Structure formats: structure tokens, C-alpha cells
Amino acid sequence: MQPAITVRCDEVAQNFKSGHDIGGGYRLVLGIVAAPPVYLGPKVGRDPYSAPFSHWEKAGLAIRASTAAVTVSLPREWRNRARIIWGAPGSPATALRFAPCPSAVETWNGYAGGFLLRSSSACVPLIFAVGHRRATLRFGVGRHC
């Protein structure tokens, strides 16, 4: 397994008052992550320059400002089928580690990014980890799960 790429605090694209302020069906995960909705829509973009992961679906992610690191990763069996990318400029990866970004005020840090796929649609599982806690969510990219 490749080591997780670290997404730094200076890669935050936007701030939110809470994980619910993002709207659009975002799901609260482990009390610290606002993850994209279960279905991301039927229109997946295509970028031949990103081959072999040339199918793209944009979906932001937000993490509550805190002293906890968050890791988001693809299960082993998905590592030849998809990549995730969040942060600016962001790098496609099978695992991302979001550095802790503490704040004196309650805020959620939003990151631009999304999913890269080999195929035009998939039901992609992601593993979210904060300390010893884990949760797996599925994302319908171009199709329903």
C-alpha cells in the first residue's frame, strides 16, 4: 500500500459554519467529516489526459477544524479502479491524510476535489478513519449504489 498523501491546511478552499451548511445531502461521518451524498449524479466528466483514470466526478469534502488527523482511503480491492483527490492543487491517490487544522473558532474546512475512475460509473467505497474509529461509506459515481 502506498503511503497516504498529506493534504495540508493551506489547501482549504472554503470554510463552513458547520458540516450541515454544505447542504445537498452531505453526510456526517465520525462527527468530523462532511462527506458527499450517496449519489453524485449521472454526468461523469471525461479527461483523456488523466488516463487510465479518465472519468471524473467533482465532489467537495469538509472536515471540522480540530487537532485530529483524518484519513480517507480506498479499500485494497479498489486501488486499480479509482483514485481520490482533494486539496489544492491535489494529487490523485488511493489514500489521503488530512492534516489537523485547529482553529480558535468553530469552523469546517472545505476541500475541492472528487473521484477519478477507470470506468464511466461505479459505486465507490471509501474508508474514513479518525484515530481508532473507522467508517465505510459508498458513493454512487454516475450511477446509484
- For the chain, which residues make up each domain, given as ranges? 5-141
Question: Using an 8 Å Cβ cutoff, are 56 and 114 in contact?
Answer: yes
CATH topology for 5-141 is Immunoglobulin-like (2.60.40)
pLDDT tens column, 101-113? 999 999 999 999 9
Mean model confidence pLDDT for the chain: 94
Q: What are the backbone dihedrals phi and psi of residue 79, each rounded to the nearest 5 degrees, phi first?
A: -70, -15
Mean pLDDT of 98-124: 96
- The model scores a pTM over 0.85: yes
pLDDT of residue 41: 85
Helix/strand/coil (H, E, C) string of 19-45? Answer: CCCCCCCCEEECCCEEECCCECCCCCE
As given in the structure block, the three cell numbers for residue 71 are: 484519513
CA distance 86 to 24: 18
Q: What are the backbone dihedrals phi and psi of residue 128, each rounded to the nearest 5 degrees, phi first?
A: -105, 135
